[in-house]
Structure 1
């Protein structure tokens, strides 16, 4: 029996009770228990055992420090933890991070948010691979945030998630925070790894993946290379009822990564990395009104993405400081689609015939005109909104950071970005029997858009230590951006009043400054208190929409202030407890509007919001071999102004909850390892993730509103490890109770009714791995 989420009554109370209970366990019981165990064993409890949280070294502040020493809200997840939890992508590790939310609309269409800062437009969270920012493809609606791609996570050193705006060091599009994926770099030892997995999805196809890594030193202590390759075939489990095709959403991912590390001279190093990944899939949304895992699209919706990502980091140790030059280049060539059959079919009315044929609803069509118009509409169906596009991004950063712990620690630098994209929003004919887009593609409408964004910035951050236990930080970033959009229509379509148009250009530019202030106090090595006030922003831009009035063409940057206090504790050497409370004031929010006919969307600015939140991370090792962890948050996100401006009136009113933001989220994990022989250990892990309910619309009683979330998912993994963990064999179950849960739903009037993205059904499988 499948469960549609869990009952909403009492869910926040249960989440709060769980949070308080574990907090009390970690804050009171665990230290005494750990000390008792240590005394019984004749020694002190080892620091860092509590899920490694206080011993993971991070470089989020552009210098090395442990998580517990870093005076910001930061989560670090080691590659070992990712492997133990079976994590292979950003969606799967998000549950371990407070306030991190992924709207998974399918491959290449993920929207990442932190602390409830979520909106269309440029990303609100910066995603970095090593030190290079990754960008989403812009698409026809200037919504780079909604098309965040991600590379497969294998052979990872760690993932760092910085919560709250990181505007001074990380700049634009980190107004909610930043994510850094740090890959293992090439080393001076021969080593390798292989991992294989086979799984079976309830009601779907089998799934498998194979990962491999080999590391080879080429010149002793001078030059090494590391190569990673992988092949993933994820099972389809959605049936297309209209076309009679089962398991349409198979996902195939093939890729690789090459890293080079070169010690050029004493103090001078070069690290390069090149990644390439191909992804192929079909539509991943369902129509829940028709059944749990059923869709009624008349078209098979392809997703085909070819992504490459290259980076180079040159570092020179000057003694008093380290000079780093970082360059990156990325390119995505993608093709995706949406079903346009429903929208076109809705035009099949006598009223639309009158306006289309005779130019007025008061001049009805004759019988012959009506028959001809209906024949024209029927001849267009099935059809797909077809989006082929290319996105390229070139970035560079030069920074100088002081070395060591001094009375004055500082970082200064400059940043440059040049992003360009080309997309062709079109309508294409599809085969009525198979639903496939006809090849070669037969277009009956096409628009073309060229979008460029150029950003420059200069930044600096300095920390003054009047005494070693106190840090006072101030940061400043000056930014300047220029956005240009060129659009033209070369295949007109009279049904949507799209006439042939020559290229037209619209521009938008802006500059400004971002500030950050932080104060921290470390009264002893096991305790840290901090307070932060920091700004964040993301660029505005320009719309290129047919028939859009001139006053709606540009839209501005939106900005926010984050005010935060936090504390970090290491208790008894086996427990860590980190807490943060914050308020975000978000102004001039970028919002989405639609043209009156619903055919096109555009961005504008309207309204303001206030987000208040609490975050908790706790980890404890009550007995040898057992680790318990909790990550959870509470968010209260509301508009503080009506979404009304000089150029747009959106539906949101002061007091409305922000859409797609659950109040409660949390994950409780338990991991246990115990010897079963002289060379083998038993391993077991359980993760229980709760996601609270959220609305798809600002107006909760809107007929278009869909309530998503309000579900729990449980994953289990058990196995045996040999050789200190170098070899392992595991059985796993994902979504143990086979919950059917909406991760996001929409009910747009211009689309095919109630649509949703849902969790994957129960999956059972086996995983084996070997390090050598």
Structure 2
């Protein structure tokens, strides 16, 4: 089906499911003359409070209540609920965000900014697992704001394609509050999942000092089985699409035909534990101080991935029983102070965070194929875990002045500084193999195959300003700019048989880059009677250049040490309209983006990935969100996008090395279509309790990803349902996630930080059908 047809079809099916219930209930009810107007969500997208309707930006906001009612507890749920936002993921804490067709797979900086309150959480730069964002539990969140399009004026370079902003609930200075949330569920092919959250709010000094604490402990069981075959088949078909590159085979052998030594079920379990504490102090009417501390740790037994071939969802095959554990530990400390100067609010936001991600990947199969490229033929599968630890630290400070008053001119000015350090350290040792090479152990006594320690440091300086002038009659002009300067330094050290030195002698190199420029933005908007806003925007986005890891040459032929900055120009027209007494809202826009010197992930024939400037690209498409209160009880919502995102002109130098980089090549991890359709039915059960029933369908179109070469991931639908009883204090819900048990392909080789080979694709997949119950009690 085409996009319009399938959207109509999906909407019709959902309407039949709940519409009949709504009609039946309406019989015997008074005629619905006018549904109540929906409560507008207050956002701070422009560093000041306004509503979504009054903000001339393509923005989606989800309140904490909406997140609860939709069962959204993590980043993946936000992606499914918001148009224009997509992801590349291998599981919790392993997610990379894309927006408006701007892939984040290449470069040292993401294309989507990620904020918690006022604090920028920059993703790892040098990590081979990607620029993955933290995956916090979203309990007791005030709202999520998703800003589409370049937000560089107010949010910096990492927001070239847009910004995702999580806003926590602030402590209540006057009232004791608390809530507890618990869930239990079961997953097809897995076991029992369970856990919960706790929130306590305590005023310490009435109207002056309060603290709010949130604690989380959740366990998700796995559904992937690790199958060990001692007589593992060798790769076959050396004359296939990888012919001439030196690989012993382009295709995997028949792993379904051998004897099985062991099966370990449910290896990809996840355990999340975390705590968040916020302190709010208001020592005077003019001064407000808030402090935030967060700790979170995610432990996983393995990746949410299965193997292709054979392409059996739920199974991963290995020559040995090597475990692949993952740990992601995050800590954040933030302090924000706001002082009312009368004519403006002066705000200082200071933060320091640290994040450590450690992963282990089995490389027995990869080394069997890779060693012949270096001239070391082998007929044996060696047990050799590959370990990577990514450590990220960032200190940031933003100082801004935001005007007050009801005059025609509103303005924001500020300065920003951050010191970011991303270190990836890798180790892969195999002394028993090195001992078989004459004389190798003398220069490599520890049997190091590959070892790296690569600190990557970025200092960022910024000055920004934005002003809005109201001409009267509903017309406004917004103009702003951000001056930026980046200083990047990488100190790279590699050793080992498969590294540049070939032994344990360190190979050292240091590279530095610097970028300076200005990101402008201009918006002309018109607002009529708070029910219509139209706007036109031209804005620029930018990312700094960066440094590649050291790549052995030979066997690799393309070894670009650095790559240059890239930038975009974004042009869009948008509208936000309300009809029929605010019962129907339609927010839509259309945009066109030109992208210069695209930083793109490229894989060489030798299997080593690197980032290169692939040429120019373009992205364009419409984005639409529709909400309709069909009756007082029945709410319909739809959001959808079409995204064209592809290379427009390929760089000739890169094309000579990778002939697949051609005009028309889709940019990575960007679905051509996305859609989310939902029906929510609410009705009183009695004077105290209400019943809510919700069913939704999320559709993601086909995407292009890369492992050893480019691959196309098929489209998929995820259907979910939820029914809940609520009385204002208690919410008890039954839910079914992934009702049709879809095995979606979310990415290929997203965790290939070790070695990429042509004969194996590891496919990241979603959680199978899950039924459960959730209860929340608040006081």
Residue deviations 1:624-677, cap 9 Å, x none? 132211111111112210143479744321123223222111111111221112
Q: Does the 8 Å CA contact 1:709/1:743 hold for their aligned counterparts?
A: no
Most deviating of 109-118 and 671-680:
671-680
Aligned counterpart, 1:457: 462
Q: Does the 8 Å CA contact 1:317/1:323 hold for their aligned counterparts?
A: yes
Per the TM alignment, residue 595 of structure 1 is displaced from its structure 2 partner at its CA by 5.4
Per the TM alignment, residue 18 of structure 1 is displaced from its structure 2 partner at its CA by 5.6
Equivalent positions of 1:190-229 (< 5 A) are: 190-229=176-215
Equivalent positions of 1:335-374 (< 5 A) are: 335-347=358-370, 355-356=375-376, 374=378
Task: Supply the distance in 2 between the matched residues of 1:70 and 1:246 (Cα, whole angstroms).
Answer: 50
Aligned counterpart, 1:765: 772
Task: Supply the distance in 2 between the matched residues of 1:757 and 1:550 (Cα, whole angstroms).
Answer: 28
Per the TM alignment, residue 745 of structure 1 is displaced from its structure 2 partner at its CA by 2.8
Aligned counterpart, 1:14: 5
Q: Against the structure 1 CA distance between its residues 83 and 709, is the aligned structure 2 distance closer, same or farther, given a 3 Å change threshold?
A: farther
Aligned counterpart, 1:316: 339
Residue deviations 1:301-335, cap 9 Å, x none? 11111110121111011121111100111101221
Query: SS of the counterpart of 2:650?
Result: coil
Q: Against the structure 1 CA distance between its residues 256 and 625, is the aligned structure 2 distance closer, same or farther, given a 3 Å change threshold?
A: same
Per the TM alignment, residue 494 of structure 1 is displaced from its structure 2 partner at its CA by 7.1
22, 41, 49: which one aligns with 1:56: 41
Aligned counterpart, 2:532: 527
Task: Supply the distance in 1 between the matched residues of 2:30 and 2:343 (Cα, whole angstroms).
Answer: 44
Q: Does the 8 Å CA contact 2:691/2:725 hold for their aligned counterparts?
A: yes
Q: Does the 8 Å CA contact 1:342/1:751 hold for their aligned counterparts?
A: no
Query: SS of the counterpart of 1:287?
Result: strand
- Number of residues of Structure 1 aligned to a counterpart in Structure 2: 706
Residue deviations 1:201-238, cap 9 Å, x none? 00111101210000000000000000000101011000
Query: SS of the counterpart of 1:292?
Result: coil
Alignment of 1:706 with 2:711, yes or no, is yes
Q: Against the structure 1 CA distance between its residues 769 and 464, is the aligned structure 2 distance closer, same or farther, given a 3 Å change threshold?
A: same
Alignment of 1:134 with 2:121, yes or no, is yes
Aligned counterpart, 2:315: 294
Gaps of at least 5 residues in structure 2 are 16-27, 229-261, 433-445
Task: Supply the distance in 2 between the matched residues of 1:496 and 1:346 (Cα, whole angstroms).
Answer: 21
Q: Does the 8 Å CA contact 1:534/1:563 hold for their aligned counterparts?
A: yes
Q: Does the 8 Å CA contact 1:239/1:248 hold for their aligned counterparts?
A: yes
Provide the TM-score with structure 1 as the length reference: 0.86
Alignment of 1:427 with 2:428, yes or no, is yes
Task: Supply the distance in 1 between the matched residues of 2:721 and 2:293 (Cα, whole angstroms).
Answer: 34
69, 79, 84: which one aligns with 1:94: 79
273, 290, 304: which one aligns with 2:327: 304
Q: Does the 8 Å CA contact 1:544/1:553 hold for their aligned counterparts?
A: yes
609, 633, 636: which one aligns with 1:628: 636
Q: Against the structure 1 CA distance between its residues 596 and 646, is the aligned structure 2 distance closer, same or farther, given a 3 Å change threshold?
A: closer
Q: Against the structure 1 CA distance between its residues 89 and 751, is the aligned structure 2 distance closer, same or farther, given a 3 Å change threshold?
A: farther
Equivalent positions of 1:578-657 (< 5 A) are: 578-594=587-603, 597-598=606-607, 600-645=608-653, 649-650=657-658, 651-657=660-666
Aligned counterpart, 1:687: 696
Task: Supply the distance in 2 between the matched residues of 1:260 and 1:673 (Cα, whole angstroms).
Answer: 36
Query: SS of the counterpart of 1:270?
Result: strand
Task: Supply the distance in 1 between the matched residues of 2:95 and 2:153 (Cα, whole angstroms).
Answer: 25
Task: Supply the distance in 2 between the matched residues of 1:240 and 1:550 (Cα, whole angstroms).
Answer: 35
Q: Does the 8 Å CA contact 1:604/1:648 hold for their aligned counterparts?
A: no
Aligned counterpart, 2:684: 675
Task: Supply the distance in 2 between the matched residues of 1:730 and 1:551 (Cα, whole angstroms).
Answer: 55
Per the TM alignment, residue 90 of structure 1 is displaced from its structure 2 partner at its CA by 0.8
Q: Does the 8 Å CA contact 1:230/1:256 hold for their aligned counterparts?
A: yes
Q: Does the 8 Å CA contact 2:85/2:100 hold for their aligned counterparts?
A: yes
Per the TM alignment, residue 712 of structure 1 is displaced from its structure 2 partner at its CA by 1.1
471, 478, 495: which one aligns with 1:473: 478
Query: SS of the counterpart of 1:328?
Result: strand
Per the TM alignment, residue 40 of structure 1 is displaced from its structure 2 partner at its CA by 4.8
62, 65, 87: which one aligns with 2:50: 65
Query: SS of the counterpart of 2:305?
Result: coil
Q: Against the structure 1 CA distance between its residues 103 and 279, is the aligned structure 2 distance closer, same or farther, given a 3 Å change threshold?
A: same
Alignment of 1:167 with 2:152, yes or no, is yes
Equivalent positions of 1:509-528 (< 5 A) are: 509-528=514-533
Query: SS of the counterpart of 1:500?
Result: coil
Task: Supply the distance in 2 between the matched residues of 1:693 and 1:752 (Cα, whole angstroms).
Answer: 23
Residue deviations 1:111-148, cap 9 Å, x none? 1011111132211000000011112223444x752x22
Query: SS of the counterpart of 2:76?
Result: helix
Root-mean-square deviation (CA), in Å? 2.8
Task: Supply the distance in 2 between the matched residues of 1:15 and 1:562 (Cα, whole angstroms).
Answer: 29
Aligned counterpart, 1:501: 506
Query: SS of the counterpart of 1:203?
Result: coil
Alignment of 1:564 with 2:595, yes or no, is no
156, 161, 170: which one aligns with 1:185: 170
Query: SS of the counterpart of 1:265?
Result: coil
Gaps of at least 5 residues in structure 1 are 1-9, 25-36, 357-372, 432-440
Query: SS of the counterpart of 1:118?
Result: coil
88, 103, 107: which one aligns with 1:103: 88
Q: Does the 8 Å CA contact 1:330/1:394 hold for their aligned counterparts?
A: yes
Aligned counterpart, 2:669: 660
Per the TM alignment, residue 620 of structure 1 is displaced from its structure 2 partner at its CA by 1.4
Q: Does the 8 Å CA contact 2:592/2:621 hold for their aligned counterparts?
A: yes
Q: Does the 8 Å CA contact 1:401/1:410 hold for their aligned counterparts?
A: yes
Task: Supply the distance in 2 between the matched residues of 1:766 and 1:462 (Cα, whole angstroms).
Answer: 48
Q: Against the structure 1 CA distance between its residues 84 and 416, is the aligned structure 2 distance closer, same or farther, given a 3 Å change threshold?
A: same
Per the TM alignment, residue 594 of structure 1 is displaced from its structure 2 partner at its CA by 4.3
Query: SS of the counterpart of 2:72?
Result: coil
Task: Supply the distance in 2 between the matched residues of 1:89 and 1:659 (Cα, whole angstroms).
Answer: 23
Q: Does the 8 Å CA contact 2:122/2:158 hold for their aligned counterparts?
A: no
Q: Against the structure 1 CA distance between its residues 332 and 348, is the aligned structure 2 distance closer, same or farther, given a 3 Å change threshold?
A: closer
Query: SS of the counterpart of 2:65?
Result: helix
Query: SS of the counterpart of 1:198?
Result: strand
Query: SS of the counterpart of 1:116?
Result: coil
Q: Does the 8 Å CA contact 1:156/1:184 hold for their aligned counterparts?
A: yes
Task: Supply the distance in 2 between the matched residues of 1:20 and 1:639 (Cα, whole angstroms).
Answer: 34
**Runs of 4+ deviating beyond 6 Å:** 19-22, 548-551
Per the TM alignment, residue 713 of structure 1 is displaced from its structure 2 partner at its CA by 1.1
Aligned counterpart, 2:256: none
Task: Supply the distance in 2 between the matched residues of 1:59 and 1:644 (Cα, whole angstroms).
Answer: 44
